[in-house]
Amino acid sequence: MDLFDYKIAQSESLDAPLASRMRPRTLDEYVGQQHIVGKGRALRNAIDSGKLPSVVLWGPPGSGKTTLANIMASATDACFAPISAVTAGVADVRKVINEAKDRYKMNGQKTILFIDEIHRFNKAQQDSILPFVEDGTVTLIGATTENPSFSVISPLLSRSQVYILKALEDDDLRTILNRALNDEERGLGRYKGKVDDDAIEHIITISNHDARAALNALESSVMTSLPDEEGVRHVTLQMVEDVLQQRALLYDKDGEQHYDIISALHKTIRGSDPDAALYWLARMLEAGEEPLYIARRLVRAATEDVGMADPQALPICIAAQQTVQFLGMPEANLALAEAVVYLATAPKSNSLYTAYSRVQKEVSKGRNEPVPLHLRNAPTKLMKENGYGDGYKYAHDYPGHFVKQQNLPDSLEGKRYYYPTTLGYEKTVTTRMKIWWPERFENTDK
């Protein structure tokens, strides 16, 4: 490369987006994912030794998959051949493979084939790679946001190490943003950007754990701010809101508002007010609250406040939690909204909650009585000789598949813990209980 070519390359590099310019070049610059690239970890050792296995990097957008692939390639003398499964086909893969073969024959240089979004390759496309991964023609690095167990063919997966990248934490993003803000060579340091702390926090919140999105937001905010007399570009929260067209909501994920609003959500669900419940849900989601935290609280509301009045409330909430993990945000916000409305409009009963509280008290403070002999298994002759299982009545041998027998220890016989209501599904439960155990309803004192 002559001086003219160097100047052009340098100019193109400076004109590249901030996320591209600030891409870490070494593991020392790499932020996050210490569970796989920290000192002593298997992938870190492989990178440091320059002996890389084929790997699949699975993680959410902006978690550093492409960056890590570049670092892995630069740690070896291998040629880095990147392709995107969105635009590439079998012909493109074949071209890279042929070039890899020629390269190895000419100078012994190996090739790292990086396939971004490998889950978008169909089975035939993935099959076309397999023989060349198997014979060592290329070392595969695949990046995917989808579970590779379902999106990568088994033979390819069995020849690769799968590493799971986690969503970047707020502190990780804060480090990345401050580094970009102060870096005068590749970052925004030469523009003298000064960004207020609340503006940085807003960028972190709306980026949803995505480093690329956070850096793009930072660059847009700094570059659209006019320098003052001293050349400083002062970026305020209002400026960030104007640039990104998204207002910073008043919410502290680690402070009092976090607990106040989740309390409001739970209590408005209990109060059967779907409008208020949806409002408090949106207040948290739109401010960047962790959706799985909300899902966990909805599961608790399903068991504590709806309970047996509508047993479908629990699977609805579990489905919402799985949707959050499967789709991610913001697409999963409607699944959470559906669960919130279902819970708020469901019949309410805390009888399960209070029943377990009574049993919990009994177990912790009462005597731990032995299991009645007729309820015990008798797998050995000695047990049978000592009365284990004697007198047990098999319910399915009786009309209606029900038969009365003592199921509690003698000292607790007749003790009642569960008092179903007459609301929702529990009305059915109450009807059945009155037929099976009428004596339990003769005295309903608790």
Cα 337 to Cα 266, 330, 334: the distances in Å are 13, 12, 5
pLDDT bracket for residue 11 (50, 70, 90): very low
Residue 33 has pLDDT above 50, yes or no: yes
Mean pLDDT on 196-204: 88
pLDDT given for residue 378 in this prediction: 80
For the chain, give the number of residues: 446
pLDDT (average), residues 404-429: 83
State the chain's maximal CA–CA distance in angstroms.
Answer: 98
> Could you tell me the domains of the chain?
33-164 (3.40.50.300), 170-244 (1.10.8.60), 256-345 (1.20.272.10), 372-441 (1.10.3710)
Question: 271 and 317 in contact (C-beta within 8 Å)?
Answer: no
What's the distance, CA 289 to chain centroid?
A: 13
pLDDT greater at residue 155 or residue 250: 155
Average pLDDT, rounded, for the chain: 84
**Beta partners for residue 116, in sequence order:** 84, 143
Question: For residues 130 and 241, which has the higher predicted lDDT (pLDDT)?
Answer: 130
What percentage of the chain has pLDDT greater than the value 90?
20
Amino acid at 242: D
- HSE value, Cβ hemisphere, 13 Å, CA-based, for 435: 10
CA-based angle 55:31:293, to the nearest 5?
90
pLDDT tens per residue across span 42-92: 888 888 887 888 999 998 888 889 899 888 888 887 888 888 988 888 888
Indicate the angle between helix axes 291-301 and 313-327, nearest 10 degrees.
170
Instruction: Supply the DSSP string of 343-356, one letter for each residue.
Output: HHHS----HHHHHH
pLDDT of residue 177: 94
Q: What number of other Cβ atoms are within 10 A of residue 365's Cβ? A: 7
Give the residue-averaged pLDDT of 173-188: 91
Question: In the structure, what pLDDT confidence band is assigned to residue 146 with cuts at 50, 70 and 90?
Answer: confident
Question: pLDDT tens across 384-394, in order?
Answer: 878 888 888 88
Q: Taking a C-beta distance cutoff of 8 angstroms, is the pair 340, 275 a contact?
A: no
pLDDT digits (tens, 9 = 90+) for 310-319: 999 999 999 9
**Which residue type is seen at 297?**
R
User: Measuring CA to CA, which residue among 385, 368, 388, 386 is closest to residue 376?
Assistant: 388
Q: Is the pLDDT of residue 2 over 80?
A: no
pLDDT given for residue 249 in this prediction: 47
Element at 164 (helix H, strand E): strand 161-164
Give the pLDDT mean for 330-343.
Answer: 92
Paired with 234 in beta bridges are 194
- DSSP 8-state assignment for residue 395: G
pLDDT band at 323 (very low <50, low <70, confident <90, very high): very high
d(CA 96, CA 250): 51
CA distance 112 to 118: 14
Would you tell me how many other CB atoms lie within 10 Å of the CB of residue 383?
Answer: 14
Q: Does residue 53 have a cis bond before it (omega within 30 degrees)? A: no
Which residue from 343, 263, 251 is spatially nearest to 289, judged by alpha carbons? 251
Q: What angle do CA 121, 127, 133 make, to 5 degrees?
A: 105
3-state SS, residue 310: coil
- pLDDT over 70 for what percent of the chain? 93
Average pLDDT of the residues in 379-385: 80
Is it the case that residue 322 has pLDDT exceeding 90? yes
List the structure tokens of 179: 């580094």
Task: Provide the pLDDT for residue 1.
Answer: 37
Task: Label residue 165 by pLDDT band (50, 70, 90).
Answer: very high
pLDDT band at 235 (very low <50, low <70, confident <90, very high): confident
Residue 250 has pLDDT above 70, yes or no: no
Percentages (nearest 5) of helix, strand, coil residues in the chain: 55, 5, 35
CA-CA distance, 48 to 27, in Å (whole number)?
A: 9
**Is the predicted pLDDT of residue 395 greater than 70, yes or no?**
yes
State residue 240's pLDDT score: 85
Lowest mean pLDDT among 94-98, 251-255, 427-431: 251-255
More confidently predicted of 274 and 253: 274
Q: Are 412 and 369 in contact (CB under 8 A)?
A: yes
Closest CA to 341 of 372, 362, 313, 304: 313
Give the tens place of pLDDT for each residue, 90-103: 888 889 889 988 88
Identify the pLDDT of residue 252: 52
The 10 Å Cβ neighbour count of residue 132 is 21
